[in-house]
Structure 1
Amino acid sequence: MSLYTMKELLQDAYAKQYAIPAFNFDNFDLLMGVFEGATEAQSPLILQITQPAIEFFGIENVVDIVRNEAAIRKLPTALHLDHADNLEIIESAIKTGFTSVMIDYSEKDFADNARMTQKVVELARPFNVTVEAEIGQVGVTADPLSCSSISTDMMTDPQAAITFKEATDVDVLAVSIGTIHGMKVKEMQLDIERLQEINAKLGIPLVLHGSSGAREADLKKVINYGITKTNVETELRVTFRNTLEKMLAENPNEIKPRNIMKHVREAIKQKVIQRQTLLKSAGRIAMSVKS
């Protein structure tokens, strides 16, 4: 079984108004917890990893493990490079077997962002690899427990999104509507009206970064207006650490890693099922599976 492109998975989600959570991972136990959750939920899966995590994990290890687990579980899975700004890393991911890449020049000016995105699109097309880019800027918090907000001038301008899509022919676009990377508290205010306008003008799958801090009610809303992928990292990290600390505190004499980590994997699994159910991707494995 070969991996799916992210575009394949998101086109179905866009047409049927559901979203696929994209889970970041940087170690084996977290990855397996995600796989176990998606398998039980019978949800298509997007796995994503950043450049620092690739350096920790090993790029060939990432591709081999994800491909093997997806085949064993017969799980429609895309492997995505998240938040990359280095063409060498992006090209390596494409040639190694990633089926989707993100070029993130959102902090640069519009012209540089469009130029670099177009380069990556040209690089990815011959390999049938999906390209995600970002227009506008998703916030980053220094205090994950604070109730932060971003200014409207950081958010995605609908007309700029149209111009960007026409200039780059990007497959998937991440938009800024008020989310913030790294938030633990679910108190962010999302600009749903802005999202509605972007979706009406663009008509392509949209991505919500920083979704760990979004209210569940808002996540249910955004899937009606083009959001087909929501990134989840902070919530998994918090679950991983809290579960590990609790396990070690309750079992101070346990030294077998498999006995310790099985509790972490179970907790991750339950978080994955919860998010996939919320976004209505659970039970979607009825779609055809590649041989």
Structure 2
Amino acid sequence: MSLAATGALVSEAAAKSCAVAAFNVITLEHVEAVIAGAEAARSPVVLQVSENAVKFRHGQLLPLARAAVTAAEAAAVPVALHMDHVKEHGLLHQAADAGFSSAMFDAAHLPYEQNLAATRAAADWAHAHGMWIEAELGEVGGKDGQPPLDAHAPGARTDPGEARQFVRDSGVDALAVAVGSSHAMTSRTASLNHELLKRLDEALPVPLVLHGSSGVPDEELATAVAGGIAKVNIGTALNIVMTDAIRRHVTGHPGAVDPRGYLAAGRKAMTDTVVHLLAVVRASG
């Protein structure tokens, strides 16, 4: 199957009142697990590569990107590639030539006017090169080892009026909103502000994205999708189960030295998690 476009998958999900799941991948095992889970669930999926993942791979995008493209093209379900949390324009430009149909440009840490100007420039460039662009307004928190923002901290929640103006002036195709989730949560205890999400859904003409979904319980996640979330970002949940499975395997096989044993265990655990979460985010449709 040919590589899918993120924008098309998100639009289709929004039309069906469900969401497309976007999983962050770091290793080839992540890529294989996400695609295997999507095939088992018979569901489209998005593979996301973050700027931090590229930094981990010695600043090289193409090795992981080419592996992801090759795996996606061989998949039995639609698979798209998305560049996640890009702050460097150079990396955004590389992504357009590496098989990525979309990117999330991350300027949410900047003051509003600077965020808007940087995002507008990124959106203009992306659209000129056939890319779908996502941005963030309000801070989801928890990124780069920072603690989650307090619910009452300035910028901790996305304001509907400000978001409507931001979308209009920036020209983005989707907006990640801050409604109570946080990046890198290792426990599923986040409580979302569904009333705020409803107001955002009513105010904005573009699909809404939920970051930090690994920390959101199934029921909360399903309610958020029913309330207007059309793209759900998941990363830490895969890393948790992969690490746990590898730890158990190494502990149970102290004399083993072949990495294929524990990597297979980690890949299988991630596949099972993908199947489960795909059922959650697509249940509303």
> Could you say which TM-score interval applies, normalised by the shorter chain?
over 0.9
Whether 2:138 is the aligned partner of 1:136: answer: yes
Match of 1:70 among 59, 72, 84: 72
Aligned residue identity for 1:67? V
Match of 1:204 among 199, 203, 206: 206
Aligned residue number for residue 223 of structure 2: 221
Q: Summarize the Cα distance change of 1:96–1:148 in structure 2 as closer, same or farther, 3 Å threshold.
A: closer
CA contact (8 A) 2:197 2:227 kept: yes
Whether 2:31 is the aligned partner of 1:23: answer: no
Aligned equivalents of 1:181, 1:81: Cα separation in 2 = 16
Question: What is the deviation of 1:2?
Answer: 3.6
Aligned residue identity for 2:68? V
Aligned residue identity for 1:11? S
Aligned residue identity for 2:179? I
CA contact (8 A) 1:47 1:79 kept: yes
Question: What is the deviation of 1:131?
Answer: 0.3
Aligned equivalents of 2:194, 2:169: Cα separation in 1 = 25
Aligned equivalents of 2:37, 2:71: Cα separation in 1 = 13
CA contact (8 A) 2:81 2:101 kept: yes
Aligned residue number for residue 287 of structure 1: none
Match of 2:178 among 171, 176, 179: 176
The runs of at least 4 aligned residues of structure 1 exceeding 6 Å deviation read 141-144
Superposed, which structure 2 residues align to 1:1-291 within 5 Å?
Answer: 1-57=1-57, 58-140=60-142, 149-151=150-152, 153=154, 154-280=156-282
Q: Summarize the Cα distance change of 1:49–1:142 in structure 2 as closer, same or farther, 3 Å threshold.
A: closer
In structure 2, the gaps of 5 or more residues are: none
Aligned equivalents of 1:142, 1:120: Cα separation in 2 = 22
CA contact (8 A) 2:38 2:45 kept: yes
Percentage identity across paired residues of the two chains: 29
CA contact (8 A) 1:5 1:128 kept: no
Aligned with 1:89: secondary structure? helix
Aligned with 1:179: secondary structure? coil
Post-superposition CA distance 1:191-239 (Å, at most 9, x none): 1101100101113211111111112111111112220111111111111
Question: What is the deviation of 1:27?
Answer: 0.9
Aligned equivalents of 1:281, 1:75: Cα separation in 2 = 18
CA contact (8 A) 1:254 1:260 kept: no
Aligned residue identity for 2:152? S
Aligned equivalents of 2:75, 2:109: Cα separation in 1 = 38
Backbone CA RMSD of aligned residues: 2.2
Question: What is the deviation of 1:15?
Answer: 0.8
Aligned with 1:131: secondary structure? strand
Post-superposition CA distance 1:228-270 (Å, at most 9, x none): 1111111111111110010011111222222221111110000
Give the structure-1-normalised TM-score: 0.91
Aligned equivalents of 1:97, 1:187: Cα separation in 2 = 35
Aligned equivalents of 1:151, 1:263: Cα separation in 2 = 41
Question: What is the deviation of 1:141?
Answer: 7.6
Give the structure-2-normalised TM-score: 0.92
Q: Which has the higher contact order (CA 8 A, sep 6+)?
A: 1
In structure 1, the gaps of 5 or more residues are: 285-291
Aligned with 1:235: secondary structure? helix
Aligned equivalents of 1:129, 1:281: Cα separation in 2 = 28
